Structure 1
């Protein structure tokens, strides 16, 4: 009996020590795991826009084109449609702000820095082009094109290839025959009220190709206007496309009237003035109207030296 009692006590002692050891190991594991978890966890940092200084270098934060990032922009931007009475969506998790191109990199300080960096590659402004009049005199051809920026999968716009060429007709040197032929070749591209020729090219897929094509049209029409065909020398006055005072009998008749009774000497022969010649040409080429008839009357009275 005593032997059995001693064995039971020994087993109880062993089982109690084991239980204590098991509980002690489990507690130690929990405490070590908790310490390790808190040691690995980093503190949450506030958004960058909350730590930005007011005098920071924005070009270093946003140096070039990029997708909108709300944690970097220190502005309360809002965009998007909302129901009536609801607040507008903020800049965080805003797909409307992220899917469109932005110009946050084109700030005045950033542009100023880029201009300063490009100065070493620039040459001095040419002398003699200080005014707009001097520029137009030396570069009479004006080229116009348009760039487009829109929210589409591609930035290429079909209208961006269009090129418009403008030039004053007075900047081109013509004789009477060449000017008349040139105006007939260009047709309604010439505006007689402003004296400007406009050529629009948009047939080619690229802007450079349309520019070359517009310059080719101007060059071809200009040189073609000086070409005189063989049949043009056989034209009579009745075949002419317009009335010219200088090559008509009306000039001889007008000069015969104003030189009536004068000695026949070429040095003292009077010629019809330019105003009378212009009024006669307008009356015949443009037709009879109130203005042309009134202008012709005034020039006739002036030619005959008759007071009203």
Structure 2
């Protein structure tokens, strides 16, 4: 079993390790020479190359090439390169957190050139190496069948934790909604623990409460497990900035809810909370102060 893997960062590197440990031969490329050297030294089933061209030349046909690159310009550039290197019957898997409409476009373009395409929403983060990855696939049935042997190695079990969702784009659409749900769950935990920490007269041990909730509670989850472990290390969080970025999938989920007319207030609120953490509501908050002062004479807090 031979597979090309382009992008050997935190996710891609661990996917290469899991595949190689399961007996697959990984033909890998990453822009970092150190990353390439480290991975090839770890396992003889991982062969790394200093260029995509060299990788494609060595990878036996029909080729399966899996991209684990950031969505957007970097992925678009790689699609263009691959179209000039691959042969008819080769298959490209996009494992990025890509917009599903882009994946539909990529499928059309690659199919027209004689190539196959599968979009793969991949969840599992840095824990996927040990626990396996949840994988959501979109594409034609024959294309998914060609990549299925590798999916069974990456997933938690051969018939567990992966699904062929439907046509091209459906894998990334499903992953988009998955990440939107993730936003809401994270925000709920963040707000709940903030309430616990703020009740100073009770002197609550938030780390111990998190640990207690892990056992039998309705809100027990892997996300709570990770939260409890983090709070056990540092429950005060004094060294952190209240600044939270977003990958873009939460935005796409909210936009999709508007297009479909399906309300998603929890996900939208969680996304807006991340925007607020970056100071993007500062102007509005200042204006609220002015309005309260104007109609009620309320004091204004100044720097």
TM over 0.5: no
Which range, TM-score by smaller chain?
under 0.3
Which TM-score applies when normalising by structure 2? Answer: 0.20
Kindly name which structure, 1 or 2, has the bigger radius of gyration based on alpha carbons: 1
